[in-house]
Amino acid sequence: MRHLMNPLDMTTEELDRLFDLANDMEQNMPKYAHLCEGKKLATCFYEPSTRTRLSFESAMLNLGGSVIGFSDAGSSSASKGESVSDTIRVISCFADICAMRHPKEGAPMVAASKSTIPVINAGDGGHQHPTQTLTDLLTIRSLKGRLGNFTVGLCGDLKFGRTVHSLIEALVRYEGINFIFISPPELKVPDYITEHLNELQIPYKEVIKLEDCMPDLDLLYMTRVQRERFFNEEDYVRLKDFYILNKQKLSTAKEDMLILHPLPRVNEISVEVDDDPRAAYFKQVQYGVYVRMALIATLLELV
């Protein structure tokens, strides 16, 4: 039985197969409409979510399966003191597969170790968010036709942003990737990541101003400042509007640069950018459903 804790749990060949399947699901929805009939997905969300949880649920419903779950720790037995290990043993009796989001780093991994059904990490604290990374990679591959040879700018909260951590880890396996990390000094990418890049000899630069590197970028991944992971509100208020991408800042960007964002957006992308043909963040949401369909079908060994 397989779980998905980290984007690296799948080889690049397995990812290619997953993305081919996701693209086929996109083109031929009706072919897959009964694939998960009789199967249940449990969404166990101990932290707020709109996209990830509903995207999992929508994916399972598209496959003809059904969904159970909770969207708030307060409405689950966690509020009575139940451990994640016990909860997953119980959920294993009710469902065939589980997507779990938890504020504590490693909680879905603890669950996986006790589970008799596949567990998918739907975000654990500031650590990893592998299905967002699958979404990001599928979006890039579908819109650009490849996953290598890009200068990738990641901008915003690179310290607490789990989507950033997962995406960097996943991208280093492709050729010709060159990173530009754009953040205020307080929100720099963690040392363990830059140390890993040094070991792999993957080129990267750390800059503060987005404008300085805009013309070089093939992909620009914007992120929200992760308010819930700050220790004090004052720091959050000081940093929250550090970057606001607008039309004027985009004027020096490449014609075919992709603008990505895992969403939710707060102020970091001005709404005037939404109509720009380079803005791909709402398309990204749609790809998130296809890739989760492909992932559920793969982990349930139905394809």
Q: Under the rule (CB under 6 A), what is the footprint of ligand NCD? A: 51-52, 123, 129, 132, 162-163, 224, 262-264
Nearer to ligand NCD, 6 or 132 (CB): 132
Minimum CB distance to ligand NCD smaller for 39 or for 127: 127
Q: Which two tokens stand for residue 38?
A: 């009789």
Task: Kindly tell me which of 176 and 264 has the beta carbon lying closer to ligand NCD.
Answer: 264
- Residue 129 known to be catalytic: yes
Bridge pairing between strands 97-102 and 40-45: parallel
Q: Measured from the CB of residue 42, what is the shortest distance to ligand NCD in angstroms?
A: 18
Nearer to ligand NCD, 92 or 223 (CB): 223
Handedness of CA 290, 292, 297, 301 (dihedral sign): positive
Q: Mapping DSSP to helix (H, G, I), strand (E, B) and coil, where does residue 131 land?
A: helix
Does 127 participate in catalysis according to the annotation?
no
Tell me how far, at minimum, the Cβ of 106 lies from ligand NCD, in Å: 16
Indicate which residue of 52, 131, 139, 223 is catalytic.
52
Q: Given CA atoms 120, 124, 127, 129 in this order, what sign does their dihedral have?
A: positive
Whichever of 35 and 99 has its CB closer to ligand NCD, that residue is 99
Residue 134, number of CB atoms within 10 A of its CB = 27
Torsion, CA 132, CA 134, CA 139, CA 144, rounded to 10: 140
Of 51, 173, 227, 240, which one is the catalytic site residue? Answer: 51
SS3 48: coil
Q: Judge whether 173 counts as a catalytic residue.
A: no
Beta bridge partners of 119: 98
- Minimum gap (Å) between residue 53 Cβ and ligand NCD: 9
| CA within 13 Å, CB half, 66 | 4
Q: Respond yes or no: is residue 102 known to be catalytic.
A: no
Q: Which is nearer to ligand NCD, 35 or 263 (CB)?
A: 263
* Residue ranges in 178-228 assigned as alpha helix (H): 191-200, 210-213
For the bound state, the minimum distance from the C-beta of residue 198 to ligand NCD, rounded and expressed in Å, comes to 26
Whether 229 sits among the annotated catalytic residues: the reply is no
Minimum CB separation from ligand NCD for residue 98, in Å?
17
Annotated active-site residue in 3, 53, 101, 261: 101
**Paired tokens of 194:** 């830059």
Provide, rounded to whole angstroms, the least separation between the CB of residue 253 and ligand NCD.
22
How many separate helices (H) and strands (E) can be counted in the chain? 11, 9
Instruction: Considering the candidates 39, 53, 127, 129, report the single residue annotated as catalytic.
Output: 129
Question: Do the Cβ atoms of 22 and 37 come closer than 8 Å?
Answer: no
225/163 Cα distance (integer angstroms): 12
Which amino acids are annotated catalytic? 51-52, 80, 101, 129
